[in-house]
A and B are shown apart, each in its own frame.
Chain A
Amino acid sequence: MTEAGFVEDVPDVQGPVLGPEARATADRIVAKYPDGRSALLPLLYLVQSEAGWVPRQGMREVAEILGLRTAEVEAVATFYTMVKLHPCGRYVLSVCTNPSCSLLGGRRLFDRAKELLGDASDHGVTDDGVFTLEEEECMAACDKAPVVSVNYLYYDRVGESDLEAMIAAIRAGDVPEAARGGVPGDLKAVSRTLAGIGSLRDSGAVPASPPIADDAANATGAADG
């Protein structure tokens, strides 16, 4: 989590990142939760779905929506590896090198990926803007080792030649279907999914739960009461 790097190193973008439509979506995401601050990560994903990564301007906008300071948002954003603090390729290629995968070739696979996508490792991006390469921790699919994911959809028992073919196909715009979950969209699309767009209920149903007690909200330092 802590290797995401310093935000200061990265140029900011001109705002706003979230247009009117995205702001409306943001409001619906916030409404999912008894306490709006719980929407912080989903909103960072929403920023990522618009910008392709999470620039500082996006953090400012999230802070404004939630009534937080930008520093509070930044503190959270820098903690989580899936919040991309640097511009990324459209496809994040992750190779698991944890022992269950490494015992069956995951380490060699990652080394090969590094050879193929040299510029893209260590949070970089390939020249064509297609790939960012990440060495992944255990992805909880050790029965399919070695596992590779593209924007977090998994490919099972990937060999070195499979990897080469996969990379070539993605470069050619023909993203192969994952083992489960279909063809991965680009990072913006998957960030939309991560923001929880799919879990928003359009019925406008009134939450069945009783509203959170004021003292409980205060006790957690809830920003929007």
Chain B
Amino acid sequence: MAEFEPIVTARWGGPPVVSLDAYAKSGGFQGLRRALAMEPTAVIDEVKASGLRGRGGAGFPTGVKWSFVPQDTGKPVYVVANFDESEPGTFNNRELIERDPFQFLEGLMICAYAVQCHTAFAYCRGEFVWPATIVERAVAELYAGGYLGGRVLDSDFALDIVVHRGAGAYICGEETALLESLEGRRGQPRLRPPFPAVEGLYASPTVINNVETLSFVPHILERGASWFASIGTEKSTGSKVFSVSGKVERPGNYEAPMGTTARELIVERAGGVLDGASVKAWTPGGSSTPLLTADHLDTPMDFDSVAAAGSLLGTGAVIVLDDTDCVVEAVGRFTQFYAHESCGKCTNCREGTWWSSRVLRRIEGGLGREQDLDLLHDIGRHMLFRSFCALADGAVSPIHSSLKYFRDEYEEHVRLGGCPFKAPAPEHMATRPEPPLEPEPVPEPGAGVGSRRVRLEEVLE
């Protein structure tokens, strides 16, 4: 493991490689050249054999995704790069683009060749005014250099890349919402099936890949699938750029082999907890993944090990809270995020995120009641797996996991009538301009949002 050489962050040591010339001189485009000399299906097979899994959160095998694209529909095939990075705590895509945009674009071009796409899109987060400009400039250079357009590197392969900017909506990182957005609509997820591979952009076969995922592709083509598969773990091959933030000495992006422990990332790479405090809670993959505790620090950071520990690898975004931080406050803020970003299409998500956010604010503000803990859990239960997309599931992650591991902290808030981690200011809290929730009928433990339905079912029986 000590032998690990960075793959996608290899060029990070020097100044950003933002010119075509510099990229080509530092070994760029070898993967693309090799790919163009292969049959497209052989490129897909190579990526499949590498075991590369999507780095955007879901971890779906990339080569398999590409292989789902039918070539006989008579419609064009599209590739869309997802650069709508917005999962709280995640910032590796941004830095990958700021430091090495051509690596990503080379991956995008290889992907396009593999699935025989002639118009690819780079969907950039709206707030990324500067990173998206870097992409635009890089694309312009690729055209000027003969890498894009009618004949890519004098081959018979034609490719255009269109850079598209979003407009501030987390949900557009969800692939079907992204497609809706790219089609000029509200960013609301679609029901699947049909999956985008069959009916995606403009109802045509479409591959959507994350920026980090695509950044690995040139290396796989250049150095071979077995080289890549030899890194990381058996089922999570290669490396991952982990974003470490929050209460650490050196927040930043750290590339490490899949399976590196969280302890190594937090303590050795990020310099440990700020001011010598200790870890209280951390997310393994952004705010949508269940919180873990100091007891889980030796969890290897790969898809299966993190799942076995009761969470998800997600985007590999490690947010660290130390023992002076309030979990209830942090969870409340995460939940406010989901309430704001829920697209409103599915009732359970739209209502559940909003109500959870209100209840959490009430607890943090000192007006929480004992029953609120069960209420929160119950709202979450009725949000899970009931929506078109995973936003609601993600929103429940911090709530349920914090109730599991930090229930005493919630109880303390209720008992003290305020946040135990703040200087005492209950009066200020109680008189905050936004009125607290109305006192409401107290649900029995285990009852709650769905109890009416249960009773109805009983009646029907």
Contacts and interface: CB of A to CB of B under 8 A. Distances in A.
Interface centre among A42, A81, A94, by most chain B C-beta atoms within 10 angstroms, is A81
Contacts of B203: 216, 219-220
B340 A137 contact: yes
Nearest to A181: B130
A6 to B, nearest CB: 15
A143 B241 CA distance: 13
Interface string A70-95: 00000110011111000000000010
Contact of B158 (A66, A180, A209): A209
A76 B128 CA distance: 20
Contact of A42 (B75, B165, B253, B334): B165
A100 B337 CA distance: 13
Contact of A38 (B128, B158, B184, B317): B184
Interface residues on A, range: 35 or more
A102 B333 CA distance: 9
Interface string B389-402: 00000000000000
A135 to B, nearest CB: 9
Nearest to B162: A32
A73 to B, nearest CB: 9
A118 interface: no
B133 A209 contact: no
B186 A140 contact: no
A139 interface: yes
Contacts of A201: 140, 143
B452 to A, nearest CB: 26
Interface string A10-48: 000000000000000000000011110111111011000
Contact of B139 (A80, A99, A199): A199
A1 B333 contact: no
Contact of A145 (B75, B76, B251): B251
Interface string A139-162: 111111100010111100000000
B66 interface: no
| Chain B interface helix/strand/loop/mixed | mixed
A40 B185 CA distance: 8
B251 A142 contact: yes
A213 B75 contact: yes
Interface in B368-412: none
Contacts of B334: 98-99
A173 interface: no
A100 B128 contact: no
Contacts, number: 224
B362 interface: no
B187 A209 contact: no
B105 to A, nearest CB: 13
Interface centre among B75, B167, B185, by most chain A C-beta atoms within 10 angstroms, is B167
A205 interface: yes
Interface in B76-114: 76, 85-91, 93-95, 98
Contacts of A143: 91, 95, 243-245, 251-253
Contacts of B247: 103-104
Nearest to A3: B340
A80 B171 CA distance: 10
A137 B91 contact: no
Nearest to B98: A180
A220 B245 contact: no
Nearest to B120: A209
B333 A98 contact: yes
Interface string B127-147: 111100100110110010000
Nearest first, the 3 A-B pairs at minimum CB distance are A181-B130, A40-B184, A142-B245
Interface of B: 74-76, 85-91, 93-95, 98, 118-119, 125-130, 133, 136-137, 139-140, 143, 149-150, 158-160, 162-171, 181-187, 202-204, 243-247, 251-253, 287, 317, 319, 321, 325, 330, 333-334, 337, 340-344
Given A137-B341, A208-B159, A219-B203, 14 more contacts: A1-B169, A37-B183, A38-B184, A98-B337, A100-B246, A137-B337, A138-B287, A140-B127, A141-B94, A142-B89, A193-B129, A199-B140, A205-B143, A208-B149
25 contacts: A1-B168, A1-B171, A1-B340, A35-B202, A38-B164, A40-B184, A76-B184, A79-B169, A82-B166, A97-B333, A98-B89, A99-B287, A100-B88, A138-B337, A140-B125, A142-B89, A142-B251, A143-B252, A145-B251, A181-B133, A196-B136, A196-B163, A205-B143, A208-B159, A210-B118
